[in-house]
Amino acid sequence: MQDLTPFIFERWKNDWKTRKNKVKRCPLCGGEMHDGMTTIPFLISEKVVVIKDVPAEICSDCGEAYMKSSVVDKVESVLDKLDELRSEMSVVHYEVA
């Protein structure tokens, strides 16, 4: 199960789950990582933006997802573009955003 508590982007960006380099082992449980997709909810000025299909390395044991810095940059630009959205909650796909 994924924890769907929205992240505050500025904090998430500096989180240990976002990394410059590939992680070989899960820092939480030591499990093996594999490439996959994840869904990340963000809380931005009281609006929720859910970004789907974000490339990530996912722990095969505990399911924790880790983002590379290139992905973090793209997420940032996606969130920038969404600033003008009026809706309380938006769902976007990483690739098409």
Residues that bind Zn ion (CB under 5 A): 26, 28-29, 31, 59, 61-62, 64
Q: Which is nearer to Zn ion, 51 or 59 (CB)?
A: 59
* Minimum distance of Zn ion from residue 88's CB (angstroms): 33
Which residues are CB-contacts of 13 (< 8 A; sequence separation ≥ 6)?
A: 72, 76
Greatest alpha-carbon pair distance for the chain in Å reads: 42
Q: Which is nearer to Zn ion, 38 or 44 (CB)?
A: 38
* Minimum distance of Zn ion from residue 60's CB (angstroms): 8
CA 25-23-5 angle, 5° bins: 90
* Minimum distance of Zn ion from residue 67's CB (angstroms): 15
Q: Which is nearer to Zn ion, 15 or 73 (CB)?
A: 15
* Minimum distance of Zn ion from residue 36's CB (angstroms): 13
Which residues are CB-contacts of 92 (< 8 A; sequence separation ≥ 6)?
A: 49, 50, 51, 52, 78, 82
